[in-house]
Amino acid sequence: MSRTHRIAVLAGDGIGPEVMSESLRVLDAVEARSGFATERTEALVGGAAIDDGGHPLPEATVNACEASDAILFGSVGGPKWESLPPDIQPERGALLPLRKHFGLFANLRPGVCLPSLTHASPVKNELIPNGFDVLCVRELTGGVYFGSPKGREERDGEPVAFDTMIYKKSEIERILHVAFTAAMQRGKRLTSVDKANVLASSVLWRETATEVAASYPEVRMDHLYVDNAAMQLVRRPGSFDVMVTENLFGDILSDEMAMISGSLGMLPSASLGAKKEGTDLYFGMYEPSGGSAPDIAGQGIANPIAQILSAAMLLRYSLGEGQAADLIEAAVARTIDAGFRTGDIATGADGETKVGTKDMADAIIERL
């Protein structure tokens, strides 16, 4: 074995553990073919960690992540922990601190609707004859999520609460560079989304986007207000290539995008931090775009593809194993072409084979 990489494996709750173990089997298979190895450290996160020791993000888990080249994350949360105070709920108490701690400022969320799966999209099929493929680049460590002051107090005899939407120019610049770089590798079109008709932070966003654009003359950039972007996404999703936006707008638009793609169970995501010195590789955390789906957890029917494609993104962006990532992505595409369908993407049409979590992974491994 020539190359060994270290990854932290945080399976979490709900369908997390069952799709995670399938993605690790795919990794095993791809490693055997590609001449590298991953050393994996499993650690508790989310509800599983709360049940174990009372906190959704134990120090041991943070340490395991720090000692790794990347984090493969499953999903967290579920009804069991919903009545806890917000700060120690699985989502807020684990995800947000992980993002902040590791400086994971760039969230890449592909919204892909394959031509063969347009039936699963809630968008009228005549609007998306060829499916679509949009990449949402969401700023992830700034804006109103983390801005201060943030709080709640009494004013004039009644409670008030406030958050601060704030961006430094340098924060806008670095996310724009990530988005332009992605656009250069794709269709060379970028839509910057803001609310510059109302918000000061958006005025700075738009100014900065326009400045950064000068360094990427080949990319055609346009600007949309976020309300309009939300409408255009359902009307003409096929016309977008890369979309870049601030944290809260990205939270909302990326969910809209995932929903119209019709196959939440197929969408991976990457949250990238700084590049590792002297390389083009990022420290990053990789997770399915969908949630922990507690309603179908433990039944062996969840679609493992989002988790498997998250592992592929991890290989590409954090480990420099792009060829292995290509192998996985091609095998997934062939598996879909061959008609394998988990419940979330099945129609019952001729030529489809309905499979569960494990059989889907087997079908992918066979096609590597």
- Give the footprint of ligand IPM on this chain (CB under 6 A): 91-92, 95-96, 251
Per annotation, catalytic residue among 251, 354, 359, 362 = 251
Question: Among residues 243 and 324, whose Cβ is nearest to ligand IPM?
Answer: 243
Shortest reach from residue 222's CB to Mg ion, in Å: 24
* Alpha carbon 129 to its chain's center: 25
Give me 200's structure tokens: 């000061």
Reported as type and span, the H/E element at residue 109 is strand 106-113
Report the partner that residue 333 touches, choosing among ligand IPM, Mg ion, none (CB closer than 5 to 8 A by kind).
none
- Residue environment code for 108-117, b if the CB has 16+ CB neighbours within 10 A, otherwise e: bbbbbbbeeb
Gap between the Cα atoms of 298 and 176, Å rounded: 40
Cβ distance 12 to 90 under 8 Å? yes
Active-site residue 295, yes or no? no
Gap between the Cα atoms of 188 and 197, Å rounded: 26
Shortest reach from residue 18's CB to Mg ion, in Å: 22
Per annotation, catalytic residue among 13, 195, 241, 282 = 195
Question: Among residues 251 and 359, whose Cβ is nearest to Mg ion?
Answer: 251
List the one residue from 42, 133, 163, 251 that touches Mg ion (CB under 5 A).
251
Report the partner that residue 13 touches, choosing among Mg ion, ligand IPM, none (CB closer than 5 to 8 A by kind).
none
Active-site residue 145, yes or no? yes
- Partnered with residue 275 across adjacent β-strands are 282
Report the partner that residue 92 touches, choosing among ligand IPM, Mg ion, none (CB closer than 5 to 8 A by kind).
ligand IPM
The residue written with tokens 């994350």 in the block is 73
DSSP 24-53: HHHHHHHHHHHTEEEEEEE---THHHHHHH
Q: Omega of the bond prior to 17 within 30 degrees of 0, cis?
A: no
Report the partner that residue 189 touches, choosing among ligand IPM, Mg ion, none (CB closer than 5 to 8 A by kind).
none
Shortest reach from residue 289's CB to ligand IPM, in Å: 8
Question: Among residues 30 and 140, whose Cβ is nearest to ligand IPM?
Answer: 140
The residue sitting closest to ligand IPM, measured at its beta carbon, is 91
Question: Among residues 251 and 329, whose Cβ is nearest to Mg ion?
Answer: 251
Per annotation, catalytic residue among 255, 354, 359, 362 = 255
Q: Can you give the C-alpha Rg of the chain in angstroms?
A: 20
- What residues contact residue 288 under an 8 Å CB cut-off, 6+ apart? 19, 74, 75, 265, 267, 268, 269, 306, 307, 310
Gap between the Cα atoms of 324 and 313, Å rounded: 10
Q: Which stretch binds Mg ion (CB under 5 A): 84-92, 111-119, 215-223, 249-257?
A: 249-257
Report the partner that residue 96 touches, choosing among Mg ion, ligand IPM, none (CB closer than 5 to 8 A by kind).
ligand IPM
Gap between the Cα atoms of 180 and 168, Å rounded: 19
Active-site residue 222, yes or no? no
Shortest reach from residue 165's CB to ligand IPM, in Å: 14
Q: Which residues are catalytic?
A: 145, 195, 227, 251, 255
Chain positions contacting Mg ion, by CB under 5 A: 251
